[in-house]
Structure 1
Amino acid sequence: MSQVKPYKLAAPIQAHDQEVLEVTLRRPTVAEVRAIKALPYKIDKNEDVSLDMEAAAKYIAICAGIPSPSVNQLDLSDLNNLAWEISGFFMTAASAKPEASAG
């Protein structure tokens, strides 16, 4: 899986005193996951998956490099889509390690 994903916003937001039309999500680090202390999703006893929007919003801010108040400006569809994109990083392994070449 790619380490970064560009995402075109349905509606612009303000971040760092600029209008933002696209964000690029990067894979969170283990240190960031430990600092947030939550996954961006929850699995209930029936194994249904749902988003933890509070945790997802924190990941969006960190992984898109935008301030938390900018996350609050996202269109609802952008918030939902970005939250699922963040969750996707947790569902698949990072790119496979290259095999050592025989020499």
Structure 2
Amino acid sequence: MNEEEAVVDPNAPVKLSSPIQAHGETLTELTLRRPTSKEARAIKALPYRMGMDESIAIDLDVAAKYIVACADIPPSSIDQLDLSDLNTLAWKVAGFFMTPASTPSKA
């Protein structure tokens, strides 16, 4: 999954290239839920920064805090992530801040 796919389908689980340990279990994929406003206020930072040229740069330290909260894994599990998985998850978290939550369609 690349950055664009991570933002396009926020509900899709991310298959990890290397398994991690969390809560005594081996995880091969992580599913992130959308962070709440309360969590964003508690973390006190966005998971990305906007450059003067309007480019977006991920703030890995902040993104890691959101991954912990939204995937319900301990902080120690973040350190086990492969760099490519960390990058994918970080972009997925950033995507939550760039798109509105989907609402169920009315039939």
Q: Is the 8 A contact 2:16 2:28 kept in 1?
A: yes
Which residue of 1 is the match for residue 5 of structure 2? none
Q: What SS does the corresponding residue of 2:80 show, helix, strand or coil?
A: coil
Name the amino acid aligned to 2:52: K
Percent identity, aligned pairs only, is 54
Task: Return the match for 2:56 from 49, 56, 70.
Answer: 49
Structure 1 length as normaliser, TM-score?
A: 0.89
Q: Is the 8 A contact 2:16 2:30 kept in 1?
A: yes
Matched, 1:21 2:37: no
Structure 1: runs of 5+ lacking an equivalent: none
Task: Please give the alpha-carbon distance, in whole angstroms, between the structure 1 residues aligned to 2:101 and 2:47.
Answer: 17
Structure 2 length as normaliser, TM-score?
A: 0.86
Structure 2: runs of 5+ lacking an equivalent: 1-7
Name the amino acid aligned to 1:13: I
Q: What SS does the corresponding residue of 2:46 show, helix, strand or coil?
A: coil
Matched, 1:34 2:41: yes
Higher helix fraction (1 or 2)? 2
User: Could you report, residue by residue, the CA deviation over 1:13-55 in whole angstroms, capped at 9, with x for unpaired residues?
Assistant: 0100111101110000000000000000000111111000010
Name the amino acid aligned to 2:39: E
Task: Please give the alpha-carbon distance, in whole angstroms, between the structure 1 residues aligned to 2:9 and 2:81.
Answer: 23
Name the amino acid aligned to 1:10: S
User: Could you report, residue by residue, the CA deviation over 1:52-81 in whole angstroms, capped at 9, with x for unpaired residues?
Assistant: 001000001110110000011000000000
RMSD: 1.7
Task: Please give the alpha-carbon distance, in whole angstroms, between the structure 2 residues aligned to 1:34 and 1:17.
Answer: 30
Higher strand fraction (1 or 2)? 1
Q: Is the 8 A contact 1:2 1:95 kept in 2?
A: no
Q: What SS does the corresponding residue of 2:86 show, helix, strand or coil?
A: helix
